Amino acid sequence: MKIGWIGTGIMGGPMAGYLQAAGHELVVHTRTKSRAAGLLAKGAVWCEAPSEVAARCEVLFSIVGYPADVRSTYLGREGVLLGAPSCHTIVDMTTSQPSLAKEIAERAGQLHIAALDAPVSGGDVGAREGTLAIMVGGDSEAFERIRWLLERMGGTISLMGPAGAGQHTKMCNQILVAGTMIGVCESLLYAARQGMDQNAIIGVIGSGAARSFLINNLGPRIAAGDYAPGFVVDHFVKDMGIALQEAEAAKLSLPGLALVRQLYVALQAQGGGGCGTQGLFLALDKLNGIG
């Protein structure tokens, strides 16, 4: 199958690689061409614009940075839906606004193209290992038609409802991640203040009732002083902002999420926007005058 792929960053590169390894022909575009070098070296074809990708593939996937990037990719002057697309299905895997997912689906429908919003969870580890959780919104027939492709990239593939439902599910995910992340960082900060071995602490509490993906996967990075991104702070702040906007529109108060977002904004102010989400430890460290 000819597959279009837009966005080959920390997540998108490995995800596209799984489809390429399965024998599919890739046509790719990304903002910085060098980020696609690995795929190009294995036979992927470079395109200069999203509209060119759409004109040369059957199914098109995208995973870019922000809602503005999604809008530009699909609805911009050289966007997927404003050229002469040959694709029958588009799948945006960016974490973005539910309302934008609905808008894209409506525009795609006018062109007789199926549109799915399919954000993912699992970070760089899940992308590299092909174990992502993929939460999908859109038409059930379109979902079943390309499900086998999603299964190349993820371990849990779920259709959650109509257009926008995938994004709403991802908001639920990010709300939970935010609450868990502050717990992980405060726990390990407490361990450090008490002179405990953080790795030893992780080994015990990571196997009991407090176990989670975050303590067992990002906890050791904190203990090692490794704040390299699996998922960058700048993007997480964006996600939490979307969740808070959606909550406000629904007249829903989420004080825990609001607090965690403010702490991450403080980390951005300290120059940590490019860190992984475990970088929250640095902001709490500074807040307590330890670091």
CATH code of the domain covering residue 252: 1.10.1040.10
Q: CA–CA separation, 190 vs 279, rounded Å?
A: 16
Cβ-contact 132, 166 below 8 angstroms: no
Looking at residue 84, what is its pLDDT? 84
The answer to whether residues 10 and 55 belong to one domain is yes
Give per-residue burial for 61-91: e unless 16+ CB within 10 Å, then b: bbbbbbbebbbebbbbeebbbbbebebebbb
List of residues 6+ apart from 14 with CB closer than 8 A: 124, 127, 128, 130
- Percent pLDDT > 90 in the chain is 96
CA angle in degrees (0–180, nearest 5) for 120-264-167 = 25
The answer to whether residues 232 and 179 belong to one domain is yes
Which tens digits make up the pLDDT trace of 109-150?
999 999 999 999 998 899 999 999 999 999 999 999 999 999
Q: How many CA atoms lie within 13 A of 200 on its CB side?
A: 5
Q: Is the dihedral of CA 131, 108, 9, 177 positive or negative?
A: negative
The answer to whether residues 130 and 248 belong to one domain is no
Q: CA–CA separation, 140 vs 162, rounded Å?
A: 8
Widest CA span in the chain: 63
The answer to whether residues 157 and 185 belong to one domain is no
Look at residues 112, 121, 98 and name the one whose alpha carbon lies nearest to residue 249.
Answer: 98
The answer to whether residues 137 and 156 belong to one domain is yes
The answer to whether residues 85 and 174 belong to one domain is no
What's the domain range around 256? Answer: 168-287
The answer to whether residues 61 and 188 belong to one domain is no
Looking at residue 83, what is its pLDDT? 81
Given 134, 162, 190, which residue is the final one in a domain? Answer: 162
pTM over 0.85: yes
Please identify which residue in the block is written with the tokens 């580890």: 125
Which tens digits make up the pLDDT trace of 76-106?
999 999 988 899 999 999 999 999 999 999 9
Looking at residue 53, what is its pLDDT? 97
Q: How many residues does the chain have?
A: 291
Can you tell me the mean pLDDT for 182-189? 98
Q: CA–CA separation, 259 vs 174, rounded Å?
A: 14
Q: CA–CA separation, 174 vs 138, rounded Å?
A: 20
Please identify which residue in the block is written with the tokens 């702070």: 233
Please identify which residue in the block is written with the tokens 């405990």: 196
CB atoms within 10 A of CB 140: 11
Query: What confidence tier does 291 reach under pLDDT thresholds 50, 70, 90?
Result: low
Looking at residue 77, what is its pLDDT? 94
List of residues 6+ apart from 201 with CB closer than 8 A: 187, 188, 191
Look at residues 257, 104, 113 and name the one whose alpha carbon lies nearest to residue 176.
Answer: 257
- Check whether 51 has a pLDDT greater than 90: yes
Q: Which helix (H) or strand (E) holds 87?
A: none
Q: CA–CA separation, 68 vs 90, rounded Å?
A: 17
The answer to whether residues 13 and 156 belong to one domain is yes
Mean pLDDT score across all residues of the chain: 96
DSSP 3-state of 143: helix
The answer to whether residues 96 and 21 belong to one domain is yes
Respond yes or no: is residue 170 known to be catalytic. Answer: yes
The answer to whether residues 77 and 211 belong to one domain is no
Query: What confidence tier does 290 reach under pLDDT thresholds 50, 70, 90?
Result: low
Cβ-contact 5, 26 below 8 angstroms: yes
Locate 43 and state its tokens.
């036979």
Domain count, the chain: 2
Which tens digits make up the pLDDT trace of 156-171?
999 999 999 999 999 9
| Active-site position among 33, 102, 170, 238 | 170
Say how far residue 102 (Cα) sits from the centre of its chain. Answer: 18
Can you tell me the mean pLDDT for 220-247? 96
Can you tell me the mean pLDDT for 220-230? 96
The answer to whether residues 83 and 194 belong to one domain is no
Q: CA–CA separation, 163 vs 151, rounded Å?
A: 20
